[in-house]
Structure 1
Amino acid sequence: MTLQYPILFPYGQIGFNENIPVINTDGEPRKRGYITKREYFAHQIQTRLAEGMVIVRSKRLFHQYIVDAFTCIEQERLRWFRLNQKKIRAELYNNIQDAVMKGDTDAKTIGKRVILPSSYTGSPRYMAEKYHDAMAICRWHGNPDLFITITTNPKWEELSDHLKLYGTDDPNDRPDLESRVFKMKLDELMSDFNKGIFFPRPKAVVYTIEFQKRGLPHAHILLWLEGDFRNPTAADIDNIISAELPDKEKDPEAFGLVEQHMMHGPCGKDRLSSPCMDNGVCTKKFPRSYVPHTQVNESGYILYKRRQTGQFVSKGNIKLDNQFVVPHNLQILKKYKAHVNVEWCNKSSAIKYLFKYITKGVDRATFKVQKTPEQ
């Protein structure tokens, strides 16, 4: 790293090595006597106001440094699995046994296969195991009741206060802080669910964390609620989910939060260049139709109450009303001040799609390299 980033390490500081000892402040012995790469880099990117902060204040170069550090950590983990196939008993996997049963015992014909166990995050077996666990929960508890998506808010007070300590105001400069604060918020949200603060206590919870294209983490959550919600009434859904703008006079705080976090668009005819548009149609199916009261359509999907109340917000010179409101829960919105989409999915026939969606794994890109013909 010192040779790769001379700007960050102008004095040629010594980087990571495998012989850095672990010093326990509590005096208790540890099984492992030396620190790992993950621990080293995690210690290195912490904010210390009493020390130099060249690394954490290097903006885009800091982004590149984090990517290289993560690559080093993953390479170390993969190297361990490659060199310790016997410890994880890789020969017991079916594909290896099948090759032997077929008589393909010549390594030259079948190659050397390296097995990634389910304990390695992101591996095919990891994703398959999580998917099977989710389907087993669904088989035991039935269809999930709520599908919730929470996205990081770069303007959270915790982020802003920390960045002001050393004179910067752009949260994108510290993607590590965004991820840490988001994880803290997510843990608090899951704790609130388990306490039954916003909804009835859940019988089971499944969630996964992903990253948007601009780098902000967000989580998809499935909840199974205690009680019988297989045939919810319109009142049951309205008590949990709202798809309308609050009254600006009665609750200005809620109106401002919905305006800031839960409005989709503008898109459609008002802005054909919106990223959600495809062939002149919004891929998120906005604007939605007005619905006088909550109901379930023939396909089993919920049509949330969207009345013509006269409430609207202005995005530039475009007015957006209840047709552009993303379904949400006002209590969650007031506490977490972020984009939190709450959907009722008990009647949905796409349960398998939901499970595949939250356990689909990391995004992949396919490319092809070919030689262009000489002119």
Structure 2
Amino acid sequence: MPIDRFHLPKRWDPTHCCVLCGLKIPTDADDPNVTHEREDWKAMAEKLQRRKRPSRRLASRSLIVPATDFENVEFRKNPPQWLCFHRTILDDPKTNKLQISGISHGYFGWYPRPAPVDPNRAVIYRGAIREDRRWNVEFHMANLFEPDWNREAGERVGYPIHVHCWLLLDRFIAHNVIKQNLRLFIQVIEEFWKANKEEWGRWVLHIPGDPDPEMDGCYEDGIHWLKRQSDVPKPMNIRVLDDEKSRPVHWPANPLRIPDIQELTERVTRSYNHLRLDRHPAKAANLPLDIAMIIIDTIYQSQPHSRQRIEDTRNILVAFGWILPNTYWQSRCNPQLVFEVDDLIKAGPVIDWAEFCLGLEELLLDEDWYCNSGLNNRGRILKLFKGIKEQFDKTIKQENRTERA
């Protein structure tokens, strides 16, 4: 039975949230700004807007692109747009069939727009307003905390997943393993969120210092690994102004790909040879490496995270021509969070690790950057993924033991 989108529901569906990170998915995501990320998408959207009489074919009213193209977009022009797009694990109680949908976004009426059946499709502009099973299906948000009245009524339910959360998860649990054990994965997701309900339904937008507790505060107060108790608080950059007061507004960007870190990587890779040739060893260059590292450690321990500390470190490296082990600088970059470090190590390009580390520290001088870049939110998501993975691995092992018994 088609969903009645325009009459007030007798019972409201649960809040539309990503079942991996627990953040709310915006329901008014019909803004075409995502099409501005690529010139060809922008041209196609403008062509769609010029149509006076839309085609009768539902699919032709939407802008559909290959899912891989969408997954590779960095959202440089409108970073928060990543929050609007999701895949959905669809569960049809009538057939007991699970499937992973293509990429969709937004609501129409009181419910999510139909999801593309083909996982290789991404609807990035407009979208169908009713079901056409040749290419899309309707669904209700699954209820993770109470008996699901939609499921009990035989209606299809869905478990939405941010596109970039899904890609990020592949770094910890391979997609092919999840697809082979999709029912078990859903079971783990439901159990995990029942035990971690305080992290569910959060809104990613927040305003540090706002009196509204739902808007106040960054994850872990925005304290990154370089901050010390002795640090002097720095004024935050003003991102949004209103009539009454001015406060910074944090809209965390895509946690998977952080453009500033990608640009830093490209810069230190290109500049590696140039930087090495410009260093003129002095007598102090003959110091044993462990002594040189102690001296650099002393600079770090005697000063708070600041531009002065970064410049002091750079200057002494250049003046004495010290080239410390790559592992020394890699360990200072918090590689568990900044996984680009491990990616670079595995890929094998020759880069200036000292400059990568110091460049990352420069980015973190901006008090807003840690949160707005998506790096702080990445830390929150990775912590959740750790719990999901532990529970999933345990469930898989139990299932395998049961099958062998």
Q: Aligning the two structures, in what range does the TM-score lie when normalised by the shorter sequence?
A: under 0.3
The TM-score normalised by the length of structure 2 is 0.23
The TM-score normalised by the length of structure 1 is 0.24
| Larger relative helix fraction | 2
